[in-house]
């Protein structure tokens, strides 16, 4: 199984490569194969995560192919069952607007979002942000109702609570996703218009989409990733 070139591979070749890696993982698990070395096992488990990060790096010079890869990989996923703290990474803005590259450059310079926490028992969770001037300012602008300081991680704050449930994808109606809804109080109105979707790719990497609800329909805002902390 040969890895596609990170910057020139066709999106369908990347998709096939991740599918094949998933098949090898399932075969090894079902047959209880112990011949795989630790390095080989880690390589297979990290295949999807690697290809997502390659697509992120490709956005600058080959945006259309990179977004096609991310969309294809998302469709390969299944609803995850996250529980606990997950580190987050912004993979790429994808509103379809000409301003996407500028906002990507801006978020690379500074992005206070650090990830999410999940409570599998209650199908709920919240988002983790750096507790900085930005978060302090928003708390004074009418968003102070839900704000938990993380004692285990100084300098962070948990905000924007959500509930989660399995549902069809907004863009991919034939794909089951874990939908993350912010529609309930105490979230501010702009956040209530957001809906995230996450799927688990072969090997365990969680790929997500964020959507913003407009007057008539949802618009995809970005892709993001989650890794168990």
Mean pLDDT, all residues of the chain: 86
Instruction: In whole angstroms, give the CA distance from residue 86 to residue 98.
Output: 31
Look at residue 75 in the predicted model and tell me its pLDDT. Answer: 98
Report the range of poorest mean pLDDT among 60-64, 82-86, 89-93, 129-133.
129-133
Instruction: Output the DSSP codes for 120-165.
Output: TTTTEEEEEEE-SHHHHHHHHTT--SS-EE-TTSTTEEEEEEEEEE
Residue spans of the domains in the chain: they are: 11-75, 84-228
**pLDDT for 77-87, tens place per residue?**
999 999 999 99
Confidence of residue 42 (pLDDT cuts 50, 70, 90): confident
Look at residue 184 in the predicted model and tell me its pLDDT. Answer: 83
Q: Could you give phi then psi for residue 90, rounded to 5 degrees?
A: -75, 120
- Mean of the pLDDT values across residues 12-35? 85
Largest CA distance in the chain: 58
Kindly report the CATH number that applies to the domain delimited by 84-228.
2.40.160
Look at residue 63 in the predicted model and tell me its pLDDT. Answer: 92
Confidence of residue 144 (pLDDT cuts 50, 70, 90): low
Q: Between vectors from CA 192 to CA 189 and to CA 126, what angle results, nearest 5°? A: 120
**pLDDT for 107-118, tens place per residue?**
554 568 899 999
Q: What is the pTM of this model?
A: 0.89
């Amino acid at each position: 199984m040969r890895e596609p070139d990170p910057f020139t591979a066709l999106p369908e070749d990347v998709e096939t490569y991740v599918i094949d890696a998933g098949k090898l993982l399932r075969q090894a698990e079902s047959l209880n194969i112990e011949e795989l070395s630790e390095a080989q096992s880690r390589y297979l488990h990290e295949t999807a995560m690697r290809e997502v990060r390659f697509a992120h790096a490709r956005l600058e010079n080959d945006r259309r192919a990179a977004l096609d890869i991310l969309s294809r990989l998302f469709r390969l996923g299944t609803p995850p069952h996250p529980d606990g703290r997950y580190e987050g990474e912004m993979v790429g803005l994808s509103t379809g607007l000409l301003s996407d590259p500028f906002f990507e450059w801006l978020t690379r310079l500074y992005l206070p979002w650090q990830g999410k926490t999940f409570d599998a028992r209650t199908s709920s969770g919240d988002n983790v942000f750096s507790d900085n001037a930005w978060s302090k300012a928003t708390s004074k602008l009418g968003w102070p109702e839900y704000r938990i300081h993380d004692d285990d991680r100084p300098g962070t704050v948990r905000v924007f609570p959500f509930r989660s449930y399995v549902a069809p994808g907004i863009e991919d109606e034939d794909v089951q996703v874990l939908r993350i809804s912010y529609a309930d109080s105490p979230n501010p109105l702009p956040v209530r218009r957001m809906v995230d979707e996450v799927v688990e790719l072969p090997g365990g990497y969680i790929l997500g989409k964020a959507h913003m609800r407009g007057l008539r329909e949802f618009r995809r805002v970005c892709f993001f990733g989650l890794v168990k902390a």
